[in-house]
Amino acid sequence: ILEVSTNSFNIMILNEKENPLAGESSLAALEYISRNVRLEVQLDNIIVVDSSDCDGNAFYKSVCHDYDMNVQAGRGPHLIIDLTRCREVLAAAKLFIQTMGLPAVSTSQETSDVSQWLSEETSQEFYLQLLHPQDMIPQIVRIIALAKELTSAAILYDESFGSVIKSDCLLRDIPARQIVINVEVTTSLRQMMVELRELDIFNYFVLGSLLTARSIIDSSDCSTYYEKKFGWYIITQDDGQLRSSCRNITLLFIKPDPGPINREKFINLQSLYSLKTPSHITSAFYFDAVVKSLLAFRSVIASNSWITTNFSHSLCADHRNNATYEDRTIDFKRYFKQIYEPVMYAPFYINPNGKGYMDFTMRLEIVTIQGDKEDVENVGV
């Protein structure tokens, strides 16, 4: 049994080595919390478990090992923050959260209702699922395809969208021929574009970094792939401008737009905490999610929302032996919604079912390059 003081608690962060941006951003969030004493958050123990690959079984064993070791030392976690992305590792993290019955925040890509990944013994109010911008942005493809009544489309994506693109989902129930290609495993972009042209594909959606977008555009025949019958849609999570060596193109460029005030705040954040990423929205998402989660749990403790001041932890093995849960009634979701700490990018919206998302905007620009002249026309957000 571990006594929780009014301003201190322990956390466990679950992540993957293949998701370094989440790790970097969460460390920045922890440093932000530490530097700002006005926030009155004291973390006595921070347990970080990183998966080295997509082996869910190995990850679950690793999490249980670190969890049990800390519990036995009287330093068990009170809050779980799940940043995992790989499906197998995510499933293992979900199982651990179900098993231990601890309050948790997940930035997973699951689309199911939160109640579907809880055990019968735990309250839905314990859990928050924050939908990653990476999971939301690809839906732009579907919106455009429906609005323009497209009959064919190639969806070209890189690793920045790799874990969420499903070949049968984006254009499901839309009568359009579609080809979905991970350009990371394509040996020749130029040959890929030739083959797509031979298949009479006239609409190209590029979901990836600005570097990937430029590589694909420049690998196309600039004199034939940008005629009026072609449609080009560049969708990115990166901050910055699109560049190309092609001299006669017009395309729709879609990127996140936090607005001038939040953009300046995030640039300052980058400078203070050495955040080096072209994807401001992704880094800010992890940063704000961790900060708000810690502030929410501080409020839980300060309000004496625990049934007792003594918080008992059981071991992973205890639950495998059908141990019973302690009766805990914490409306963690409500406390999260009540945190008014200014965000670095965009506010979070929490649905009644415990699923939330960052309420960000995407800017639409028509980019026209003719000769040495580049024209950018804002057409909405």
Name which residue leads in pLDDT, 309 or 236: 236
Q: Which of 36-50, 53-67, 240-254, 321-335 has the lowest mean pLDDT?
A: 321-335
Q: Is the pLDDT of residue 122 over 80?
A: no
Do 51 and 67 fall within a single domain? yes
Q: What is the mean pLDDT of residues 49-67?
A: 93
Do 71 and 141 fall within a single domain? no
Judge whether 57 lies within some domain.
Answer: yes
Do 126 and 267 fall within a single domain? yes
Judge whether 189 lies within some domain.
Answer: yes
Q: What is the mean pLDDT of residues 69-98?
A: 90
Q: Is the pLDDT of residue 113 over 70?
A: no
| DSSP classification of residue 228 | T
Residues 185, 162: Cα–Cα separation, whole Å: 11
Q: Which residue has the tokens 């203070």?
A: 272
Name which residue leads in pLDDT, 72 or 172: 72
Q: What is the mean pLDDT of residues 48-61?
A: 92
The pLDDT of residue 371 is 65
Do 180 and 65 fall within a single domain? no
Residues 42, 210: Cα–Cα separation, whole Å: 39
The pLDDT of residue 124 is 59
Query: Band of the pLDDT at 329, cuts 50, 70, 90?
Result: low
Judge whether 366 lies within some domain.
Answer: no
Q: What is the mean pLDDT of residues 314-320?
A: 75
Do 79 and 157 fall within a single domain? no
Do 85 and 230 fall within a single domain? no
Are the beta carbons of 15 and 83 closer than 8 angstroms?
A: yes
- E strands, the chain, are 2-3, 8-16, 42-51, 79-82, 104-106, 127-131, 152-157, 177-182, 203-207, 231-235, 248-256, 310-311, 348-350, 355-358, 362-370, 373-380
Judge whether 186 lies within some domain.
Answer: yes
Q: What is the mean pLDDT of residues 282-296?
A: 95
Q: Is the pLDDT of residue 121 over 50?
A: no
Do 273 and 188 fall within a single domain? no
Residues 189, 186: Cα–Cα separation, whole Å: 6
Judge whether 377 lies within some domain.
Answer: no
Do 20 and 103 fall within a single domain? yes
Q: Which of 95-109, 185-199, 282-296, 321-335 has the lowest mean pLDDT?
A: 321-335
Do 121 and 264 fall within a single domain? yes
Q: Domain tally for the chain?
A: 2
Judge whether 47 lies within some domain.
Answer: yes
- Whole-number average pLDDT of the chain: 84
Residues 116, 151: Cα–Cα separation, whole Å: 36
Per-residue pLDDT of 1-15, as tens digits, reads 444 555 689 999 999
Q: Is the pLDDT of residue 310 over 60?
A: no
Half-sphere exposure at residue 331, Cβ-oriented, CA atoms within 13 angstroms: 7
Query: Band of the pLDDT at 123, cuts 50, 70, 90?
Result: low
Q: What is the mean pLDDT of residues 352-358?
A: 79
Residue 217 domain boundaries: 135-238
Is the pTM here over 0.85, yes or no?
yes
Do 169 and 30 fall within a single domain? no
Strand-pairing partners, residue 365, are: 253, 378
Do 182 and 201 fall within a single domain? yes
What CATH number corresponds to the domain at position 36?
3.40.50.2300
Judge whether 332 lies within some domain.
Answer: yes
Per-residue pLDDT of 210-256, as tens digits, reads 999 999 988 887 767 777 888 999 999 998 888 888 878 889 999 99
Q: Which of 10-14, 295-299, 350-354 has the lowest mean pLDDT?
A: 350-354
Q: Is the pLDDT of residue 322 over 80?
A: no
The pLDDT of residue 229 is 84
Q: Is the pLDDT of residue 45 over 90?
A: yes
Do 126 and 164 fall within a single domain? no
The pLDDT of residue 99 is 82
Judge whether 286 lies within some domain.
Answer: yes
